[in-house]
Structure 1
Amino acid sequence: MEDILQAVERILQDKPLASIQWFVLSQSWLGKTYGEMAEASGYRDNYIKEVGSELWQDLSVALGKRVTKKNLHLALKKHLQDKIGDGENQSQQKFGEESSLEMVSPDLSSTKKIEFPSGPVPLDSPLYINRPPLEELVYNEILHPGCLIRIKAPKKMGKSSLLNRMIAYAREQGYQIVYLDFQEADRDVYACLDKFLRWFCINVSRQLNLFPCLDDFWDTEMGSKVSCKIYFEAYVLQYIDHNPVVLALNEVHRVFEHPNIAQDFLPMLRFWHEQSKQDQIWQKLRMVVVHTTEIYIPLNLNQSPFNVGITITLPPFTLNQVQNLALCYGLHWAADSEGAKRLAPLQAMVGGHPYLVSLALYHLCQQEMTLEMLLETASTPVGIYSQHLRELLTILKKEPELMSAMQQVIATNEKVELDAIAAYKLESMGLVKLNGNEAHAMCELYRLYFSQQLRTQNSVNGSNSLSSEF
């Protein structure tokens, strides 16, 4: 695979390839269909076909013979054999030999285009990896009148990236979009329910190009929730056209931090969803609720929106998905079975966590370190995950019962039975996997790091105890 990529680079020496072209080339060589490439990369089939078509045309011009996806193997082998016969390039005599496991330098022109992993993956980025069947499930569900979708996962698992793709799909269907990020609300907005719901209604109105005439529908004697419902029912949903409205609510965990609001607002969303089964006007509204799972509050499950509609829990990347992402980052050595074998320790170290995988591949494609060095320092203060690990440690230190539970988990390689609430919270943070109430560390990175922290803490405690004796 490496020889093929290098050969194509020489053939097209005046026209460097972008990462997505390298991806299409390597996947085509491995016999993947355009559909499989689209599924792995997050691009649509038509775009992948266009990239492939342009690539085959460039190769045809450079070689002076027609090159297609079907005859790619034959055309490139014939070209290399001709070069060998002419004695022009001795290095090409290695064609067909086993690929080296040394890291291949990615195309620098494409490396410069790859940004540091931060925030949602842009819609036009090849670095988004589909996790079937989640995308198809969300796209299908948003077509249902009055639907309620909840997307949940720990931080940096790809919730906003999935939400943005769902929004783009809904726009393609002609739906109107209202996007609210609860991180944008000022602190005083959360002072009371009435203030919060008025802020909520004003933002919805503005995004739908409606004048926010709240005072015409707000009645303090009826209460804020009823006033908000009437405002939507008699104004917002009446005055928009026949196209559905997708109400996308991101970072809803910010509401969780204010139980006085959450315990009214969340059941209100549930009630609206249930209204769609009886009242046609509420079928115009399709709701998507996105939140992290790190924050826990005791909600009444019969009133919250979290046991109705459809719940999407984002899973970690599989080894195959890690391999596809590595190719998107321009790491050509990851293309074959040997590449997958080399990536397996990385997938195990971070448990397939999308952000942690992306961070590793970014540093590898920048040639800042080898994979072996990255894995060796992963759990240390000088490793690339130090900030992420410190953030988790800070959360645990604020809740001693969670720190104690995590210490139980990493103290043994066996599964540990934990208190139900502690087990739930640690799983919500993405630190452990559960089988009932039995827990074990989510990945080797967390096991190593918190083991080191425990040893350090015990060492400090021992020193303090010793000094107190003198």
Structure 2
Amino acid sequence: MTVEELIDLLKVSLPEGLTPLQETVLRFTWEGKTYASMAAETNYVKEYLSRTASELWSTLSNFWEEEIGKNNLRQVFELRQLTKAQRQAIEQIRRDRTTPVLEFPGGPLAVNSPFYIERPPIESLACEEVTKPGSIIRIKAPWKMGKTSLMLRILDRAESQKYRTVTIDFQQAEKTVFSTTDKFFRWFSSNVGLKLQLEPKLDEYWDEDIGRKVSCTIYFQAYLLPQAQCPLVLALNEINRVFEYPEIAEEFFSLLRSWYEQARSLKIWQNLRLILTYSTEIYIPLQINQSPFNVGLPLKSPTFTSEQVLALAQRHGLDWTTSQTKQLMGMVGGHPYLTRLALYYICQGELTLKHILQEAPTESGIYCDHLRKIMTVVQADTALENALKKVIATDHPVKLVAAIAYKLDSMGLVNINGDFVTPSCELYRLYFKNQMLQN
């Protein structure tokens, strides 16, 4: 059998399937690579890869009831013939991959969606980190780059470990929640308890004399965490909404940092694992030792590579070539949402790639809503608008004030290289040039 057949067979045969990192180890081992070369290509520590591989060889050996390891993997399987049942199982999993039900791009991708493209090593790093006591995972990326989809996969990993999971989406919070700091802390604490399906007991633990931060801490330490009876993964989605209220943000984020620090000495806090997703830079004055944004595992969702764009096209059932992949990437630069939107319309037979590319930077193109939303944000900030005008007015890299450059980068509009920035993709350069410099 081939390595692809082996991987598909293991996915349907092993009780827990294969993790992305295990799949990577299998491929590299099949190619005869050493753990050192694997580490160099994946940015994993060699010892961690070796440990992961050792656990994999043990699983395979137990499953097939024969000794299987790095030195004989290919020898054992390459000449082995698939049984009829195994061939049928592989054919079924491949049919499921190649005949997906089309989903209109926009929201997060379900854990079982065939349209989710992994971007190694971030998935493996995140799924490993969530199992560590008292951990924090920080996912930062511009709008529509796949933050929530990645978060769902981390939560799925946590649930497979029998952890409790709770998601708080700050986009769902009404404006009145942010009217006072005390109201915000009570709303936050109450929501976590309700999602754990626990009886509300906030008034029993809240004490104005000791303050909201201490009250919130006691509510978690004495009630929520013990009642969970296992590790609790708390996912805080789109926390950039809190950035809009500096007084609340300063107290809330320093509280999260204090919980992280307490996990170093109090066992109960080791059961709390935090996932923070946000799409803008942090521009609130937090002292280094009071910020949760300089600890834990930082992840930044990257754009797709050409290989990943081609793989996504194939999952849409399109028989694409590298030439078509390069044409689309030349316009959208591998942006996940922009890529998927184009593939959706092409797969539906509504538009051709040529038509999409011609209309892309115009008000009649498929990206008009996305572009208008970004334009609204940019025009609300004069400094951002003026800076973006400078970037798109020339074909050469432009030097900007650091804070402005990072704001544009956090919106996904520019790439930063040293002290200089350039437009992140041709779509943004053309659209904003037409809209902002037409006079």
TM-score (norm 2): 0.78
**Map of 2:223 onto structure 1:** 235
**Map of 1:150 onto structure 2:** 138
**Map of 2:290 onto structure 1:** 303
Counterpart contact for 1:35–1:45, Cα < 8 Å: no
1:183 corresponds to which of 147, 171, 176: 171
Structural RMSD (CA): 2.8
1:409 corresponds to which of 372, 380, 391: 391
| Residues 1:33 and 1:415: Cα distance change in structure 2 (over 3 Å) | farther
Counterpart contact for 1:177–1:248, Cα < 8 Å: yes
**Map of 1:436 onto structure 2:** 418
1:168 aligns with 2:156: yes
Using the alignment, how far apart are the partners of 2:206 and 2:364 within structure 1? 56
Deviation at 1:230, TM superposition (A): 1.1
**Larger gyration radius, structure 1 or structure 2:** 1
**Map of 1:124 onto structure 2:** 112
Letter in 2 for 1:131: R
Deviation at 1:67, TM superposition (A): 11
Letter in 2 for 1:260: E
Deviation at 1:299, TM superposition (A): 4.0
Equivalent residues, number: 367
Counterpart contact for 2:333–2:424, Cα < 8 Å: yes
Deviation track 1:189-233 (CA, whole Å, cap 9, x = no partner) reads 111111111111111112223222112211101110011111111
| Residues 1:148 and 1:38: Cα distance change in structure 2 (over 3 Å) | farther
TM-score (norm 1): 0.73
1:389 aligns with 2:374: no
1:323 aligns with 2:305: no
Using the alignment, how far apart are the partners of 1:37 and 1:230 within structure 2? 49
Counterpart contact for 1:192–1:260, Cα < 8 Å: no
Alignment of 1:323-342 (within 5 A): 323-331=310-318, 333-334=319-320, 339-342=321-324
Alignment of 1:46-61 (within 5 A): none
**Map of 1:377 onto structure 2:** 359
1:277 aligns with 2:268: no
Counterpart contact for 2:249–2:284, Cα < 8 Å: no
Using the alignment, how far apart are the partners of 1:353 and 1:37 within structure 2? 32
Letter in 2 for 1:209: Q
**Map of 1:362 onto structure 2:** 344
Greater alpha carbon shift after TM alignment, 305-314 vs 291-300: 291-300
Counterpart contact for 2:19–2:124, Cα < 8 Å: no
Counterpart contact for 2:304–2:335, Cα < 8 Å: yes
Helix, strand or coil for the counterpart of 2:112? coil
1:254 aligns with 2:241: yes
Using the alignment, how far apart are the partners of 2:388 and 2:326 within structure 1? 25
| Residues 1:320 and 1:313: Cα distance change in structure 2 (over 3 Å) | same
Deviation at 1:176, TM superposition (A): 0.7
Using the alignment, how far apart are the partners of 1:119 and 1:423 within structure 2? 28
**Map of 1:421 onto structure 2:** 403
Using the alignment, how far apart are the partners of 2:361 and 2:198 within structure 1? 52
Deviation track 1:257-293 (CA, whole Å, cap 9, x = no partner) reads 1112101001100110010011111101111111112
Q: List runs of 5+ in structure 1 lacking aligned partners.
A: 1-27, 50-64, 73-106, 459-470
Deviation track 1:333-371 (CA, whole Å, cap 9, x = no partner) reads 22xxxx122211211211111000000000110111211
Counterpart contact for 1:154–1:428, Cα < 8 Å: yes
Letter in 1 for 2:424: M
Using the alignment, how far apart are the partners of 1:68 and 1:284 within structure 2? 41
Helix, strand or coil for the counterpart of 2:437? helix
1:447 corresponds to which of 393, 405, 429: 429
| Residues 1:350 and 1:33: Cα distance change in structure 2 (over 3 Å) | farther
Deviation track 1:92-145 (CA, whole Å, cap 9, x = no partner) reads xxxxxxxxxxxxxxx9x957x212112001122100110000100000000100
| Residues 1:348 and 1:299: Cα distance change in structure 2 (over 3 Å) | farther
Q: Which structure is richer in relative contact order (CA contacts within 8 A, separation 6 or more)?
A: 1
Using the alignment, how far apart are the partners of 2:259 and 2:325 within structure 1? 46
Deviation at 1:387, TM superposition (A): 1.1
